[in-house]
Amino acid sequence: MLATSLKSVLVLQLALGFISSVSGEQQVFQAPSSASVTSQLDSAVKEKIAIIGAGAGGSSAAYYLQKYSDYNYDITVFERNDYVGGRTTTVNVHDDPRWPVELGASIFVKENLNLMAAVKEFSLDLKATDLGRVKRMDNITVDDSFGIWNGQSFIFDAPSDSSWKNIGKMLWRYGISPIRARNLAKKSVGQFLKYYSPVYFPFKDLTDTVEDSGLVELTSQSTVQYFSEHGISDLFTSQIIQAATRVNYGQNTRNFQALEALVCIAADEGLNINGGNWQIFDSMLKSSAADIRLNTAVSEISAASDSGKWTIITDTGSEEFDQIIIAAPYHQTNIKGLALPIKEVQYMTLHVTLIASTKRLSPKYFGLQDSAVVPTMVLTTMPEKGASHMPPLFNSISITKFIPELNQYVYKIFSSSRITPSFLQLLFESGAEFPWIYEKVWKPYPRMDPLSQFQNWKVDEGGIWYLNGIEQFISTMETSSLAGANVAALIVGDTNKTIISVP
Ligand X SMILES: Cc1cc2nc3c(=O)[nH]c(=O)nc-3n(C[C@H](O)[C@H](O)[C@H](O)COP(=O)(O)OP(=O)(O)OC[C@H]3O[C@@H](n4cnc5c(N)ncnc54)[C@H](O)[C@@H]3O)c2cc1C
> Residues in the site for ligand X, rule: CB under 6 A?
13, 15, 52-58, 78-81, 86-88, 104-108, 297-298, 327-328, 333-335, 350, 352, 442, 444-445, 468, 475-478, 480
Closer by beta carbon to ligand X, 340 or else 426: 340
For 193, counting Cβ atoms within 10 Å of its Cβ (0-12 exposed, 13-18 middle, 19+ buried), the class is buried
Closer by beta carbon to ligand X, 50 or else 184: 50
* Cα–Cα distance for residue pair 427/394, rounded to 1 Å: 11
Separation of first and last alpha carbons in the chain: 30
Closer by beta carbon to ligand X, 58 or else 147: 58
Q: How far is the CB of 19 from ligand X (least distance, A)?
A: 17
* Cα–Cα distance for residue pair 55/400, rounded to 1 Å: 23
* Cα–Cα distance for residue pair 278/503, rounded to 1 Å: 18
DSSP-derived secondary structure letter, 381: -
Find out whether 223 and 232 touch, Cβ atoms under 8 Å.
no
* Cα–Cα distance for residue pair 303/319, rounded to 1 Å: 11
Q: How far is the CB of 412 from ligand X (least distance, A)?
A: 9
Find out whether 148 and 375 touch, Cβ atoms under 8 Å.
no
For 21, counting Cβ atoms within 10 Å of its Cβ (0-12 exposed, 13-18 middle, 19+ buried), the class is middle
Q: How far is the CB of 244 from ligand X (least distance, A)?
A: 12
Q: How far is the CB of 485 from ligand X (least distance, A)?
A: 12
Closer by beta carbon to ligand X, 134 or else 263: 263
Q: Which residues of 351-374 are buried (b: 16+ CB within 10 A; e: fewer)?
A: bbbbbbbbbbbbeeebebeeeeeb
Closer by beta carbon to ligand X, 167 or else 189: 189
* Cα–Cα distance for residue pair 241/485, rounded to 1 Å: 31
Q: How far is the CB of 297 from ligand X (least distance, A)?
A: 4
Write the CB contacts of 44 (distance below 8 Å, at least 6 apart in sequence).
72
DSSP-derived secondary structure letter, 199: T
Q: Which residues of 229-255 are buried (b: 16+ CB within 10 A; e: fewer)?
A: eeebbeebbbbbbbbbbbbbbbbbbee
Closer by beta carbon to ligand X, 329 or else 375: 329
Q: How far is the CB of 278 from ligand X (least distance, A)?
A: 9
Residue of 23, 18, 19 whose CA lies nearest to 197: 23
Q: How far is CA 489 from the centre of its chain?
A: 22
Closer by beta carbon to ligand X, 87 or else 309: 87
Q: How far is the CB of 302 from ligand X (least distance, A)?
A: 14
Identify how many contiguous H helices and E strands the chain contains and give both numbers.
15, 22
Q: How far is the CB of 23 from ligand X (least distance, A)?
A: 24
Classified as helix, coil or strand, 159 is: strand
Q: How far is the CB of 460 from ligand X (least distance, A)?
A: 17
Closer by beta carbon to ligand X, 51 or else 374: 51
Residue of 502, 497, 499, 500 whose CA lies nearest to 70: 497
Q: How far is the CB of 97 from ligand X (least distance, A)?
A: 21
Closer by beta carbon to ligand X, 166 or else 398: 398
Alpha-carbon dihedral angle through residues 188, 191, 197, 201, given to the nearest 10 degrees: -100
Q: How far is the CB of 233 from ligand X (least distance, A)?
A: 27
Beta bridge partners of 75: 49
Closer by beta carbon to ligand X, 37 or else 490: 490
* Cα–Cα distance for residue pair 431/358, rounded to 1 Å: 10
Q: How far is the CB of 354 from ligand X (least distance, A)?
A: 11
* Cα–Cα distance for residue pair 137/139, rounded to 1 Å: 5
DSSP-derived secondary structure letter, 23: P
